[in-house]
Amino acid sequence: QVSLVETGGGMVQPGDSLRLSCAASGRISSTYSMAWFRQAAGREREFVASISGSGSSTSYADSVKGRFTISSDNTRTNLYLQMNNLKPEDTAIYFCAAKLMGGASPQPGAYDYWGQGTQVTVSS
């Protein structure tokens, strides 16, 4: 069993930055791929960014490319999402997720464990 807890959300103005953290505990492994997803009110959960089990490969949604950066420590016990130049359309609940087998994926259904989410609100 793996437990994921996200922190770092909040209310900011357009153009501001936030850094989300995800603390993993339990049977976490450095081989797991991990990702950030988000879900805005009334919308489906969507992929934001992922990092492969080896840590050598990252992937981003087009909407956040160049503004967001995903990173992790080598043991995968801490996952981060640095979000710069935030926009109102980035408003959502942000979730971290862990995938036990295979490479990272942009599909929510491919992930085995999820955190409870942290709210990010971007508004002037």
d(CA 40, CA 38): 7
User: pLDDT at position 9, please?
Assistant: 97
Instruction: State pLDDT tens for residues 11-23.
Output: 999 999 999 999 9
d(CA 83, CA 90): 9
User: pLDDT at position 73, please?
Assistant: 86
Parts of the chain with a pLDDT under 50: none
